[in-house]
Amino acid sequence: MPEQILVSKRPLNDCGDRLRTMNPTDSSRLTQYKNKGKDTILKNSRVDEAVTIRKDKREDLLSKRRNINAQDENVVRTSAQSGPFDSNLLHQIVTMARSNDLSIKLAAVQQARKMLSSDRNPPIDDLISSDILPILVNCLVSDDVNLQFEAAWALTNIASGTSEQTQAVVNAGAVPLFLQLLSSGNLNVCEQAVWALGNIIGDGPHFRDYCLQLGILPLLLNFITPEIPLGFLRNVTWVIVNLCRSKDPPPTPEIVKTILPALVLLIHHDDANILVDTVWALSYLTDGGNEQIQMVIDSGIVPSLVPMLGHSDAKVQTAALRAVGNIVTGSDEQTQLVLDCGVLQEMPQLLSHQKEKINKEAVWFLSNITAGNQNQVQAVLDAGLMPLIISLLGKADFPTQKEAAWAVSNVTISGRPDQVEQMVNCGVIPPFCALLDCKEPQIIQVVLDGINNILKMAGPGVEAICTQIEECGGLDKIEQLQNHDNEEIYKLTYEIIDTYFNSNSDEEITAGQEGGVETASTIGFSFRKDGPLTPDDVRRHCEEAMQLFVELFRNRDFQIF
């Protein structure tokens, strides 16, 4: 067996409740990498590609928003009910939009904007094909603010569509003109330009970096003042989220350092929408590796972030939980800073929250704490969280049970024998063994690893553990898994049964475990202080296995063909 055991510090890859559907009336252990931070225990990240793809698709859809006026939408719906899309009407609108008469041009652009305000398949491609885009972009430099506003609104809704539709807006030369409008003296025009740029940036890192190169960030941050209207500030904060969210590649360290002071201000805002977006921006920044985690820590924002876990709005809680959870995927030192801010005091309410997703992310968070050092494992135990984790291990939905299995298994790797003993005293064995029935090989292996480690550390009290495993049906499950297709699972089950449930070797096991023990009065067994099997133990068991094979060979008649 390898002497070095991998403890997983794992990012959570599925998308949370972060991305909101806008109110129409609102104007506002598989793939692993190593983190430096432990000399003897490696921290790994497992990546579920399928979940990541689903997350990316969902975020791509919801990182863009159309500006829909409820009154205009009713007009469009009434028109739609009267018949199919009228291409002749669109041709007429384009002709009028080319007029030199300002009033005619304004009416045409306004009509085009209303067509794009439908929430039922707006004719974006039809408008693009009509060659109206250059006309709309040209209107952005008009001296008439009403025409600027209507054109910006129409372009915003076109950019809210697919990547190809967003690309068409960019190709028409809209981005530099939108940036110019950020300095407009008309607040409505400024806000609409911010909204349009947010949709363009939300399409991905290519357009994000393009906008950053053109200088959007200082212009955007200038809007964060006490005088800014609430709806406008919500839009600005949402654009900041889109600047932070892409990971391939992530924003540069210089951009991150420029954004963080704004987030330090915004996290103290009393508007829940602004808080949600601010904290999600932090979650994206902390999902970029230890270097970005450290930049967030150095900004001094973590003591303000942790209390967000107790916010009355579940969306704020979810965002905060993801952000602090990302931080504790980092080094032990980075993890400790979060613990020092009192984060474990917030965990009981999250572990018992009515939302299953919050339960899951809270247990995921704790699984990364139990993957830390022994002091951090002890902090989880001292906070009284292990009974709550074990309760979720037995009764929660399966995604939460999986995270609880990681939390428990990590204790058996990172923890001291007395810490493992304390966890066993909380009743972990039955629900832990119950997960051996699941269909995911990775989780089966996590549970078997944990059971094996518990048995290795039990010393002379190993029989008490074996009895618990047998009485809860765990041994039957382990025996059945000897036929599993996964080789690692087969090897683990063979090792557990041969070492701890083979009656012929009970005497040798007990003899081999004498010495260096500490009695556990509560359940009547002791845990070895020396942890995993020594090389001599392994050699002895190999010799025993060979002797058993020889005896079997002697006692049976073999026909050689």
Digit-coded pLDDT (tens) for 403-451: 999 999 999 999 999 999 999 999 999 999 999 999 999 999 999 999 9
CA atoms of 247 and 15, how far apart (whole Å) = 14
From 58-62, 472-476, 519-523, 546-550, the region with the lowest mean pLDDT: 519-523
What pLDDT is recorded for position 310? 97
Domain boundaries, the chain: 427-561
Instruction: Check if the beta carbon of residue 104 is closer than 8 Å to that of residue 193.
Output: no
Residues 6+ positions from 452 with CB-CB distance below 8 Å: 492, 495, 496
User: Which tokens sit at 543?
Assistant: 């010799």
User: Which tokens sit at 464?
Assistant: 């008490």
Higher pLDDT: 446 or 12? It is 446
CA atoms of 531 and 415, how far apart (whole Å) = 10
What pLDDT is recorded for position 553? 54
Mean pLDDT along residues 56-76: 54
What pLDDT is recorded for position 459? 82
CA atoms of 169 and 147, how far apart (whole Å) = 17
Could you read off the pLDDT of 185-238 as tens digits, one per residue? 999 999 999 999 999 999 999 999 999 999 999 999 999 999 999 999 999 999
Instruction: Check if the beta carbon of residue 196 is closer than 8 Å to that of residue 236.
Output: no
Instruction: Check if the beta carbon of residue 148 is closer than 8 Å to that of residue 106.
Output: no
The H or E element that residue 26 is part of is: none
What pLDDT is recorded for position 248? 87
Instruction: Check if the beta carbon of residue 351 is closer than 8 Å to that of residue 390.
Output: no
From 113-117, 301-305, 309-313, the region with the lowest mean pLDDT: 113-117
User: b or e along 333-365 (b: 16 or more beta carbons within 10 Å of the residue's beta carbon)?
Assistant: ebbbbbbebebbebbeebbebeeebbbbbbbbb
Residues 6+ positions from 70 with CB-CB distance below 8 Å: 24, 25
The CA-atom distances, in angstroms, between 520 and each of 102, 384, 431, 442, 471 are 88, 19, 22, 32, 21
Q: Is residue 23 scored above 70 in pLDDT? A: no
CA atoms of 350 and 366, how far apart (whole Å) = 11
Burial tier of 372 (Cβ tally within 10 Å: 0-12, 13-18, 19+): buried
Q: What are phi and psi of 328, to 5 degrees?
A: -80, 0
pLDDT averaged over every residue in the chain: 83
From 5-9, 52-56, 75-79, 379-383, the region with the lowest mean pLDDT: 52-56
What pLDDT is recorded for position 85? 63
CA atoms of 106 and 147, how far apart (whole Å) = 6
Q: Is 7 helix (H, G, I), strand (E, B) or coil?
A: strand
Residues 6+ positions from 108 with CB-CB distance below 8 Å: 93, 94, 95, 96, 97, 99
Residue 503 has a CB neighbour count (10 Å cut-off) of 6
Largest CA distance in the chain: 106
Whole-model pTM: value is 0.80
DSSP letter (8 states) at residue 173: T
Q: What are phi and psi of 520, to 5 degrees?
A: -105, 105
Q: How confident is the model at residue 530 (pLDDT cuts 50, 70, 90)?
A: very low
Burial tier of 388 (Cβ tally within 10 Å: 0-12, 13-18, 19+): buried
3-class DSSP string for 293-341 = HHHHHHCCCHHHHHHHHHCCCHHHHHHHHHHHHHHCCCCHHHHHHHHHC
Q: How confident is the model at residue 549 (pLDDT cuts 50, 70, 90)?
A: low
Q: How confident is the model at residue 367 (pLDDT cuts 50, 70, 90)?
A: very high
Instruction: Check if the beta carbon of residue 41 is closer than 8 Å to that of residue 80.
Output: no
Higher pLDDT: 25 or 80? It is 80
Q: How confident is the model at residue 39 (pLDDT cuts 50, 70, 90)?
A: very low
- Peptide bond before residue 249 is cis, with ω within 30 degrees of 0: yes
The H or E element that residue 283 is part of is: helix 272-285
Q: How confident is the model at residue 147 (pLDDT cuts 50, 70, 90)?
A: very high
Could you read off the pLDDT of 274-284 as tens digits, one per residue? 999 999 999 99
Instruction: Check if the beta carbon of residue 31 is closer than 8 Å to that of residue 47.
Output: yes
CA angle, corner 101, sides to 98 and 107, nearest 5?
Answer: 75
DSSP letter (8 states) at residue 34: P
Q: Is residue 345 scored above 60 in pLDDT? A: yes
Instruction: Check if the beta carbon of residue 238 is closer than 8 Å to that of residue 198.
Output: yes
Per-residue DSSP letters for 528-557?
ESS-SPPHHHHHHHHHHHHHHHHHHHHTS-
Contacts of 134-141 with CB under 8 Å at 24 or more apart are 134/172, 135/94, 135/97, 135/98, 135/109, 136/97, 136/109, 136/112, 136/172, 136/174, 137/172, 137/173, 137/174, 137/177, 139/105, 139/109, 140/174, 140/177, 140/178, 140/180, 140/181, 141/177, 141/180
What pLDDT is recorded for position 118? 74
Q: How confident is the model at residue 76 (pLDDT cuts 50, 70, 90)?
A: very low
Q: How confident is the model at residue 561 (pLDDT cuts 50, 70, 90)?
A: very low
Q: Is residue 51 scored above 50 in pLDDT? A: no
What pLDDT is recorded for position 460? 80
CA atoms of 303 and 32, how far apart (whole Å) = 30
Could you read off the pLDDT of 117-143 as tens digits, one per residue? 876 788 999 999 999 999 999 999 999
Could you read off the pLDDT of 159-169 as tens digits, one per residue? 999 999 999 99
Q: What are phi and psi of 188, to 5 degrees?
A: -65, -40
Burial tier of 286 (Cβ tally within 10 Å: 0-12, 13-18, 19+): buried
Mean pLDDT along residues 289-298: 96
Q: How confident is the model at residue 533 (pLDDT cuts 50, 70, 90)?
A: low
Q: How confident is the model at residue 30 (pLDDT cuts 50, 70, 90)?
A: very low
Mean pLDDT along residues 289-301: 97
Q: How confident is the model at residue 32 (pLDDT cuts 50, 70, 90)?
A: very low
Residues 6+ positions from 506 with CB-CB distance below 8 Å: 463
Helix-then-strand count for the chain, H and E:
32, 4
